[in-house]
Structure 1
Amino acid sequence: MGAALVAQPARDRSDAGQRHRGHRRRVCLIRGSSPCCGHSRIENVPRVAVLISGTGTLLQSLIDDPRREYEIAVVGSDRPAAGLQRASDAGIPTLVARPGDYPDRTAWSAALADLLADFTVDWVVSAGFMRILDATFLERFPQRVVNSHPALLPAFPGAHAVADALAYGVKVTGCTVHLVDSGVDTGPIIAQRTVAVEPGDDEDSLHERIKQVEWQLLPEVVNHLVAYGCTVNGRKVEL
């Protein structure tokens, strides 16, 4: 790949009972640090990276959010995803890190973390990103990676959540925003919102209604996290 990789050591933070602060604390860190590259930034504004794999509708909800008080510093993908055009149209830098360009998953995870660190991001949002982020990546952004999932976790994790919920016959499903760990949709839950399953629903119709709710919930959660952070006690997250 042509992009330079810039390593950045992880900050030491305890998982249990740790307050993961938002903008108020990070302003001090930003003022006291030097950018690791030439990417421009808006002074004292929190910086968020968004990861996508598809058309980027969740990304668009973040871009269009009128309450947004953070900068989307970069949008990354594991493939030349159609949604990258949404970022380009909004003047947001994009990058692609293809797993096949690296010898193994660990090398890819480290390279992706390096690329995001090059943009000095404070939080990482997985918005339809269809790759598991392993410990190599997560250690670089401890308790600062967030994912939106189209089901009410812990039920129906994985890539086929909507189809699995329909097949099981649930009457209510929804979406979950959670912190990311190295499992498949197993991280501590931050927020959830319900969606009723209607008679005659198929995967497409149900998923469309879930996406409508995700487009509201994810921006709300990200806004809160970058401003105020969260407290994590085991599996419990307090905003």
Structure 2
Amino acid sequence: MSELKVAVFASGSGSNFQAMLDAALPCRIELLVCDKPGAKVVERAKKKDVPVWEFSPQAFPSKEAYEQAIVEQLQERKVEWIFLAGYMRLVGPVLLGAYANRMINIHPSLLPKFPGLDAIGQAFRAGERETGVTVHYIDEGMDTGPIIAQESVDIYPNDTMETLETRIHQVEHMLYPQVIRKLIK
């Protein structure tokens, strides 16, 4: 049986991408898709000889056009699953149609609370006593897909944004590879 081929989509530093690489998942990361040319995640991928497809959405006439280009890249490499790891774009119907129920995302809150950008900051500023991490399937909404797994993280009275972010990232780097292993076994 051939190894399962997956793609990771990321826009930033790539700490969750690195956690996947370090976890020695039972799949092959066939492609990193990055919508921010030159992002740190690209360096991480190149160090591990993971092929990279960087693009600038503005270079395409529409979202449908760049998503179709992504689908072509994925199909050319026979990618079966997509893992979003800090990909800062809503996924549209072209990608959803091609990879329905085979795209997951990790989000730094206990969804449905605090979807979207700056979820850690939103929870911190709201005075919450608990936040966490959610892994969920992708649908057409922003962080609205069916939840696969959640792990809570306490917010302590003496926390700063930095200490809370550090603990959230630790949980992300443990939970995401665990969920991926269960899904693709």
TM-score (norm 2): 0.96
Answering whether residue 32 of structure 2 is matched by residue 75 of structure 1, we say yes
User: Which runs of structure 1 show a deviation greater than 6 angstroms over 4 or more consecutive aligned residues?
Assistant: none
Q: Which has the higher contact order (CA 8 A, sep 6+)?
A: 1
- Asked if 1:222 is matched to 2:185, the reply is no
Aligned residue number for residue 199 of structure 1:
157
Post-superposition Cα deviations, 1:105-135, rounded to whole Å, max 9, x if no partner, equal 1212222222222211110000011111111
Aligned equivalent of 1:105: 63
Instruction: Report the structure number with the largest CA radius of gyration.
Output: 1
1:172–1:196 contact (8 Å) kept in structure 2: yes
CA distance in 1, matches of 2:3, 2:166: 33
C-alpha distance after superposition, 1:123-159 (max 9, x if no partner): 0000011111111111001110000000000000001
Equivalent in 6, 17, 30 of residue 59 of structure 1: 17
Q: Distance in 2 between matches of 1:59 and 1:128?
A: 9
Deviations 1:32-87 (A, max 9, x none): xxxxxxxxxxxx11111001101111000000104x21111111100121111111
1:151 and 1:103, CA in 2 relative to 1: closer, same or farther beyond 3 A? same
User: 1:143 aligns to what?
Assistant: 101
More helix by share: 2
Q: Does 1:167 align with 2:134?
A: no
| Matched pairs, number | 184
CA distance, structure 2, for counterparts of residue 202 and residue 132 of structure 1: 29
**Structure 2 equivalent of residue 183 of structure 1:** 141
Unaligned runs of 5+ in 1: 1-26, 28-43, 228-239
CA distance in 2 between partners of 1:115 and 1:53 (Å): 17
Q: Does 1:128 align with 2:86?
A: yes
2:45 is the counterpart of 1:87: yes
Deviations 1:184-238 (A, max 9, x none): 00000000001100113232321121010000000011111111xxxxxxxxxxx
Where 2:98 maps in the other structure, the secondary structure is coil
| 3-state DSSP of counterpart to 1:216 | helix
Verify the 8 A CA contact 1:127 1:148 in the aligned structure 2. Answer: yes
Identity of aligned residues (%): 37
Q: Please give the alpha-carbon distance, in whole angstroms, between the structure 1 residues aligned to 2:159 and 2:63.
A: 37
